[in-house]
Chains A and B, each alone.
Chain A
Amino acid sequence: MTGLAFHFLQDPAGFSLSESLLDLPAQALYLEVLVAGLLNTLKVAVPALVFCTLLGGLIGLGRVQKTGPWKACCDVYVGALRNIPLLLQLLALYFGLTRYLPIASEAWSLGDALYLSKSGLALPVWQGGGWQLPVRGRFSVEGGLTLSPEYLTLLLGLSLYTAAFVAEVVRAGVQSVPVGQVQAGLALGLSPAQNRRLIVLPLALRLVVPPLGNQYLGLLKNASLGVAIGYPELVSVSNTAMNQSGRVVECVLMVMLMYAALSGLTAVLMNALNRRVNYTGLTA
């Protein structure tokens, strides 16, 4: 080992990514492919964060109920998904998507705007002041924006898996609200809906936000499992870059730097949110 040398980042990488948000040239530099990998991680993680929060919130509220079919579904969901490794879920999901979906020329369509097939999900895209719809061709669905099956698998898998953990966080938060608070709200003449919005929600959020941040950080790190199904996210790109350039330590440092930036950003945002939900209001 002869010291760190980051010059190689300006060298042509000699490999390309199967999908990228950037328009990478054939002779892309190492730095460019690494940044493209980071963007791919974000491209899957950010929507997954939104989905897992919505779904997790819904399921968490379902688990708080005393009885009923919705609670039964939520209990089974959380009990099943939390106890099976994410990697196994991703592999099964990827197999399912690539086996049971129709081939591109027979893609399932929804109102001639969405097409779902083995080659992925084609969406309309906003271009030049109008929506450009994808069209079913002879061998593939053309035009529009295509999300690859690898991307869909990772997005779906991460969202569903993390939602089970978010649900537990939400459940703990709601159950932590003292019964007296709810009773006091009802006694003051609030309707059950008002009670939920004005009493239970603000109190529960204080307990929910910090562990929710941990789940978000976990999701960001779990996005690295894309490497197992061939989605070119940051870790997968850096592995290839390591093999190609032999610059092991530098590549690891780059990955650490980028993950530290991502985690730091998430932590800052969650802390800001935490301060917002922890307002004290009127005090005696």
Chain B
Amino acid sequence: MSLKFKPLSWVLWALLLYLGVWVLDWALWSAQFRPNPVACAQLQGQGACWGVIAEKWKILLFGRFPVEEVWRPALVAVAWTATLYLSLAGRLRPAALLALWLGVLAGTVPLMGVAPMALWGGLPLTLFISVLGMGLAFPLGVLLALGRRHGPVWLRILCASYIEVARALPLVSILFLAAFVLPLVLPFKALASSQDLLPRVILTIACFSAAYQAEVIRGGLQTVGTGQAQAALSLGLRPWQVQLHVVLPQAIRASLPGLGNSFITLFKDCSLVAVVSLFELTGSLGLALGGDVQWRPYYLEASLFVAGVYWVYCYGISRALR
């Protein structure tokens, strides 16, 4: 940093310093940390009332899960976060990762199973939707991209129109359809009860994200030179072997940054399931404070807390992928 005298720059630094002190004062020195509504009311907004988080953290992080059992979703969230980090850091072989995820899934079912699916919420739900959604969306995206590039004409048109339609519509409208309308029009009732809202929403988000990932992967496919596929064909590999062993590994490696961005977008888009009354992190904010007159004035502090959780995950994912 240059020590040249720049008046404007110093004025800006001074302003920032003032702002920083003011924020610190609000957030730390004048803040109330105990869940004491009387003390919080006395602050009159001059300090943050973090007591709202001490009071409501179980609902904010775990939704409507029975209070005496919250250690279960907490354990699940820790296990999923650790496994997610291991997957993104890229130190483990794919087979080991798959085994790890299967193990985590097998452990999750009995842990969460003590409460009906409708009561799941908060951070574990955000993790379920984003990770399972990504896990389903990625293979679907690969198939869509391959279909759009190499399929017969009818399949190309089908894949292209699916991708374009899904990308033209807002996720909110598609979620509404899947949550409230699909059960009315589906001919079979297997996927139609409100018990199945969560699987239906995960499937919907996966199908939505797959359209975006298909475009990312298509870009990756275009970076693989045609000579690669020709060489593999001339070595006697079958067309599907060429794709699976030669083209796709290179294409996916090239599209990894884009796929990482897709995953972060997916993670943030999970917040939209709040509009179809699933209470993941954003939804549980309304759940915790919506009907509570005493704590509702501290909505801002609670939303800063939830924003902090999102930030840690999204920033962490982008760092782990670097």
Q: Which residues of A contact B299 (CB under 8 A)?
A: 92, 95, 99
Contact for A88 among B185, B275, B285, CB less than 8 A:
B285
Give chain B interface residues in 153-199, CB to chain A under 8 Å.
Answer: 165, 168-173, 176-177, 181, 184-185
Chain-A contact segment, one of B69-77, B134-142, B309-317:
B309-317
Interchain CB contact (< 8 A) of B16 among A73, A80, A87, A224: A73
Q: Which of A23-31, A63-71, A138-146, A186-194 contacts its partner?
A: A63-71
Are A92 and B269 in contact (CB-based, < 8 A)? no
B234 at the interface (CB under 8 A from A): no
- Chain B residue nearest to A220 in the complex (CB): B170
Contacting residues of chain B (58-105) with chain A, CB-CB under 8 angstroms: none
Most chain B beta-carbon neighbours within 10 Å: one of A91, A96, A249, A256: A91
In the docked arrangement, what's the CA distance between A67 and B9, Å?
10
B274: which A residues are within 8 A, CB to CB? 87, 228
The majority secondary structure among interface residues of chain A is helix
Question: Is A72's beta carbon under 8 Å from chain B?
Answer: yes
Q: Is the CB of B310 within 8 A of A88?
A: yes
User: A77 in the interface, Cβ–Cβ < 8 Å?
Assistant: no
A156 to chain B, nearest CB (A): 15
CA distance A75 to B285 in the complex (A): 28
Question: Cα distance A84–B285 when bound, in Å?
Answer: 14
When chains A and B are docked, how far (Å) is the Cα of A239 from the Cα of B1? 55
A263 touches B168 (CB 8 A): yes
Is A127 in the interface zone, CB < 8 Å from B? no
How far, in angstroms, from A228 to B165 measured CA to CA in the complex?
Answer: 23
Contact of A69 with B16 in the complex, beta carbons under 8 Å: yes
A89 to B314, CA, bound (A): 15
Q: Per a CB cutoff under 8 Å, which of A91, A100, A259 touches B170?
A: A259
Q: Which of B217-225, B236-244, B300-308 contacts A (4 or more CB under 8 A)?
A: B300-308
A72 near B271 (CB under 8 angstroms)? no
CB distance from A56 to the nearest CB of B (A): 17
A225 at the interface (CB under 8 A from B): yes
Name the A residues within 8 Å of B314 (CB-CB): 82-84
6 closest Cβ pairs, A-B complex: A224-B170, A83-B314, A69-B12, A85-B271, A221-B170, A92-B303
24 A-B contact pairs sorted by A residue (CB < 8 Å): A69-B15, A72-B16, A82-B314, A83-B311, A83-B314, A84-B311, A84-B314, A86-B268, A87-B271, A87-B282, A88-B285, A89-B307, A91-B303, A95-B299, A95-B303, A224-B172, A227-B275, A235-B170, A239-B173, A248-B177, A252-B173, A256-B165, A256-B168, A259-B169
Q: Which residues of A contact B (CB under 8 A)?
A: 1, 67-70, 72-73, 79-80, 82-89, 91-92, 95-96, 99-100, 221-225, 227-228, 235, 238-239, 242, 248-249, 252, 255-256, 259-260, 263
New A-B pairs, 19, CB < 8 Å, besides A68-B6, A69-B12, A84-B307: A67-B1, A67-B2, A80-B311, A83-B311, A83-B314, A84-B314, A85-B272, A85-B310, A87-B274, A87-B282, A92-B303, A99-B300, A221-B171, A224-B170, A224-B173, A235-B170, A239-B176, A248-B177, A263-B168
